[in-house]
Amino acid sequence: MRYLYLSLVIIGLLFFSCKNSEKAITQKTVTGYQGQGASPVVPTVDKPVQRQWKGIWSFDKETFFTNDFDGARLNGVADDGNDHYTIWITAENTPINVSPWYSFKVWTEQPREITIKLSYQNSRSRYYPKISTDGRNFKPLDSLAYKIINAGEGEFGIKAAPEFAEITVVAGKEPIWISAQELYTSKRVQEWVDSLSTKPFITNYEIGRSHENRPMQLMEIKENKSSKKALMIISRQHPPEVTGFLLMKSFIETISGDTEQAKRFRENFDIFVVPLMNPDGVDNGHWRHNMGGIDLNRDWQNFNQPETKSVRDFLNKKSDEGYEFVFGADFHSTWDDIYYPIDSTVTGDKGMIVFDWIESISNRLPQKKTNVKPSKKTVPTMVSRNYFYMNHGMPAIVFELGDNTPRPFLKQKGQVAAEEIMRLLLEKE
């Protein structure tokens, strides 16, 4: 009897192990960065937003700063003497996630070296400065021209960032753009959408309007008129999260490409893309919120904001037309690359494609550690991933890219991510 009992215990353990094999995929890829905690439930009715004053700060008619362009954030400048200036960056409202976006231009009548101290409202210096001479092509500031003040603690999170930072640039008559990340305003994103829409199988159209009446633009990639299986891709709910947008951009360009895999994929699946979920927040240089003063990725339960309503109504319309959504992704940015899937104990076999996708990307890009944090909480839906799964049955993920992930690697990772989801979905056909 004792041996029979032990045998039954062993069989039971093996069964339990098999039932939980999905979780093994997530566990073996978890590394140092554990990601953010559970998102708090917050009200999503409109809150007041403080608009920036827009204009030019002039000092002795020799040195000039401006925030008078789309995507800018600069709330104050002080001349400290000896070519040293302090700028202040404040948020659109509070409380708010510590994503202290800044972007401004500076120029001088006579070429000379100036030093600029970055200071923030209730935050620290999270974003490493990017420099441009045309507002489009940015590169990180030379490390020799960057000085931290009051270093942070640890590796990740706002506490790891310095309290202040000083940057030194050689300014002259031609303006220099200094920005937390590359500038991808609504106009520039639309230019990208329009350039892809020259392909015969891509169209773009409005699905709604934002608080400030900017178009909510959707890109539809559809090669087979009879196809009724689709992917839903969104990006930029939070304005500063440019690295997520850049990977999404590469992801969509790969699916829209001329490879045999991409052509076959488009014969079987449609792809719907909202590349800029928060055009008002982006163009107004917000840290986090839309012009309703709300974090859009907390409004997928109550839909108080026009931007989330637009996507909800679009998805409902497509579901009514008989579409089956087979994959959804929401691209973001944070301290390091991390995947936030829904735990496979919740989604079962249907959600395993997300974990297979993560593993296949990790196998092809072993040089980058894979951080995975599954969530078992799907109610209230509140965040896009949960809404996609609970209301439209699509395996979905929030895919976050590191603020400082090298841009060539972002492009490569976007390509690999697209190739692997195409392969996995085609194999299921």
Average pLDDT rounded to a whole number, residues 33-58: 88
Identify the bridge partners of residue 108 per DSSP, sorted by sequence position. 63
Domain with CATH 2.60.40.3120 in the chain: 56-179
Tens digit of pLDDT for each residue in 241-288?
Answer: 999 999 999 999 999 999 999 999 999 999 999 999 999 999 999 999
pLDDT, the chain, mean: 92
pLDDT confidence tier of residue 369, bands split at 50, 70 and 90: confident
Lowest mean pLDDT among 31-35, 114-118, 352-356, 390-394: 31-35
The model's pLDDT over 63-85, given as tens digits with 9 standing for 90+, comes to 999 999 999 999 999 999 999 99
The beta strands (E) that lie in 82-214 are given as 84-89, 103-108, 112-120, 130-132, 138-140, 146-149, 164-171, 176-179, 202-209
User: What's at 295, amino acid-wise?
Assistant: D
Closest of 292, 99, 286, 307 to residue 208, by C-alpha: 307
Structural domain 56-179, CATH architecture? Sandwich (2.60)
User: Cβ(192)–Cβ(249) under 8 Å?
Assistant: yes
**Tokens (6 digits) for 43:** 């009200």
Alpha-carbon distance 105 to 92, whole Å?
20
Is it the case that residue 23 has pLDDT exceeding 50?
A: no
User: How high is the pLDDT of residue 363?
Assistant: 97
- CATH 3.40.630.10 in the chain: give the residue spans: 186-427
Shortest CA distance to 385 belongs to which of 46, 38, 21, 22? 38
The CATH number of the domain covering residues in 186-427: 3.40.630.10
**pLDDT given at position 36:** 72
Whether the per-residue pLDDT at 31 is higher than 70: the answer is: no
Tell me: pLDDT of 9 over 70.
no
Q: What is the amino acid identity at position 160?
A: A
* Reported confidence tier of residue 181, pLDDT bands at 50, 70, 90: very high
* pLDDT tens-digit readout, 203-223: 999 999 999 999 999 999 999
Q: What angle do CA 18, 35, 364 make, to 5 degrees?
A: 60
Residue with tokens 């640039």: 169
Identity (one letter) of the amino acid at 363? Answer: N
Q: What's phi and psi for 247, nearest 5 deg?
A: -70, -40
- Report, as an integer, the average pLDDT of 156-176: 96
Name the nearest CA neighbour of 65 among 47, 52, 78: 78
Judged against a pLDDT cut of 60, whether residue 3 lies above it is answered with: no
